Amino acid sequence: MMRQSELGEIMHMATETIRTNKMRSGLTVLGIVIGVAVVIGVSSIGRGLDDNVRDRFATVGANVIFAFHIDPLTFGRLSEEM
């Protein structure tokens, strides 16, 4: 377990390092902020798209099914039955 004096020394060294390397510290904070913003943005876009797709399917109805069968090797125009 760490003693109080060791913890104080570690905190002193950490703050001293941040003070002496201001550019590196600032860029690190900027990178973290940008990363968090990107994660929030991507998850928001994904959630919005998911809600949009669910709403579109809800407007079609739960009891409506569209089924199509087209022969995959048909060349030319489709017949009247198709």
Domain ranges of the chain: 4-59
How far is 36 from 14, CA to CA, in rounded Å? 23
- pTM > 0.95: yes or no: no
DSSP line for 13-57: HHHHHHHH-HHHHHHHHHHHHHHHHHHHHHHHHHHHHHHHHHHHH
What pLDDT is recorded for position 73? 67
Q: Which tens digits make up the pLDDT trace of 41-64?
A: 999 999 999 999 888 877 877 666
- Structure letter (DSSP) for residue 80: S
Q: What is the pLDDT of residue 53?
A: 87
| Largest Cα–Cα separation, the chain | 88
